[in-house]
Amino acid sequence: MRPKVYIAWRIPDEIEAYLAEHCSLRKWKGETPIRYEELKDELKDAEGLLLGEGRIDAELLEQAPHLRVVSTISNGYNNLDIEAMKHRGVIGTNNPGISNESVADLVLGLALAAARKIVKLDRYVKEGCWTRGIDSSWYGLDVHHSTIGIIGMGGIGQEVAKRAKAGFDMKVLYYNRSRRPEVEHRLGAEYCSLEELLTQSDFIVVMLPLTAQTEHLIGDRHFDLMKPSAVLINASRGSIVNERALVEALRARKISAAALDVYEFEPVNPDHPLLNMDNVITLPHVGSATAKTRFNMVMSAARNLVAALKGETPPFLIREFKESVQN
């Protein structure tokens, strides 16, 4: 008997065909992402789950007695209750590294868009407001030869540093839990404290995983340290930045702009004050959203799932489950 797998995300036909060679499939057919209660109902006999988004917790696992593997398409996995999964004997896989370059591309795009007021000026032209020559209110910030501070020098942070250095001749500062001498040598980055990074950087890029230690890492006192001309860019996890503090900093002009691809709660509430600020660029969590990268992420998730269901060690086993597999 082939293992039963539930696909909770719309995936390319080619990848579905690959899974069908190894597994008995059922899939979500809705146009919108599957909701928690619906997912709970669908997992009663599933041994494997291919997950796009949504939380996996103890309550859901109680309704999935046969579940052995959760293969998430994403790199981040803060939506998985690791301890609850380990308690039930369920392992998890993710896809580190596959989206690094696409996310880094977006970060530099956000830096340019925020610095040169591209979104605001595009709207200005389309609304018929361009009736005279250049106004000083249209002036932006130079990206070239400026200073970028990267909080979190993992794979994506390194790709951002590479683009900033090679493409815009930027000075690269970074703050990381541990110093990375090889990165400093290879990319010309300079290690500094978080406080030094915040006071010196023109562009501050948040590139950290969400953990108990990083939640609300950036708050009121940190915005007080930033330059009034600074631009904050977050394309990692929304809860690393305290959004209340960010809104207050923007209103008080403690920083000049923010460019966000992630939020504390997603989808972001349409009434959120950030959406009504003309010095904030907001995107719907699309850091990895290129056709090639998304295909590669889904294919990798499928391979992880098949390997795990065969009893093999999957290519990208989440590190917290490595001991479980070895035992």
Catalytic residues: 237, 266, 285
Measured distance CA(196)–CA(33) in Å, rounded: 41
SS3 45: coil
88 phi/psi in degrees, rounded to 5? -90, 0
Residues 6 or more apart whose CB falls under 8 angstroms from that of 106 comprise: 235, 261, 283, 286, 287
User: What residues pair up with 69 in beta bridges, in sequence order?
Assistant: 48, 91
Distance CA 16, CA 9 (A): 11
Q: How far apart are CA 46 and CA 49, in angstroms?
A: 7
What is the three-class DSSP state of 172? strand
Q: Torsion-angle region of residue 320: left (phi > 0), alpha (psi -120 to 50) or beta?
A: alpha
Give the list of residues 6+ apart from residue 240 with CB closer than 8 angstroms, or none: 206, 208, 210, 214, 215, 216, 217, 218, 234
Phi-psi category of residue 188: left, alpha or beta, with phi > 0 → left and psi -120 to 50 → alpha: left
Q: Are residues 94 and 75 in contact, defined by beta-carbon separation less than 8 angstroms?
A: yes
